[in-house]
Amino acid sequence: MTPGRGGGALSRAGMGGFTLVEILVAIVILSLGAMAWVGTSRVAAASMRAAALELRAAQLLQEQVERLRAIPVDSVRSGSAARPAGDAVWTVADSGSYLRVELVVHARPEGGRTLTDTVYVYRAR
C-alpha cells in the first residue's frame, strides 16, 4: 500500500492513456477545424477563379486598346474581334476634334460565367 493513495487501488495518475471523453472532444475539435479549412478552401478557389476572369478581361482590353491605337486615327472604324479568350466590340463616335471609341470586352473562361468590361479611348485628330 502506498501512503496517501487511498489504499491498494490504482489511481488515475498511475494509469496511462486517454479517456473516451477526451478522445471525443479532440475529434470534435479536429472536425470543426477540418470543416473550417474546407470552407475556406472553397472561398479561396472561387476568388481565384474570379480574379483569373478579371485578369483575362483586363488583358483583352489592353490588347485591343493597343491595336486600336496603332491604327491611324482617320482609319479607325467600328468593329469587332473574336478570340478564344473572349470577344471585343468597339464603336467609334466622331466629334470633329477627336474620336471617342467605346470598347466592350466579353471575357470567357473555360466553362463558367462571362465577364463584361468597358473602356473608353479618346483619339485626338
* Percentage of residues of the chain with pLDDT beyond 70: 83
pLDDT band at 14 (very low <50, low <70, confident <90, very high): low
Report how many domains make up the chain: 1
Residue 3 domain-assigned? no
pTM of the complete model: 0.61
- Name the grid cell of 4: 496517501
Predicted local distance difference test score (pLDDT) of residue 22: 92
How far, in Å, CA of 102 to CA of 60, rounded? 14
Mean pLDDT of 47-61: 85
21: enclosing H helix or E strand: helix 20-70
Predicted local distance difference test score (pLDDT) of residue 75: 87
Query: Is residue 1 scored above 80 in pLDDT?
Result: no
For 23, phi then psi, to 5°, come to -65, -45
Residue 9 domain-assigned? no
Residue 4 domain-assigned? no
Contacts of 69 (CB under 8 A, 6+ apart): 121, 123
Domain range enclosing 110: 17-124
Residue 74: DSSP 8-state: G
Residue 7 domain-assigned? no
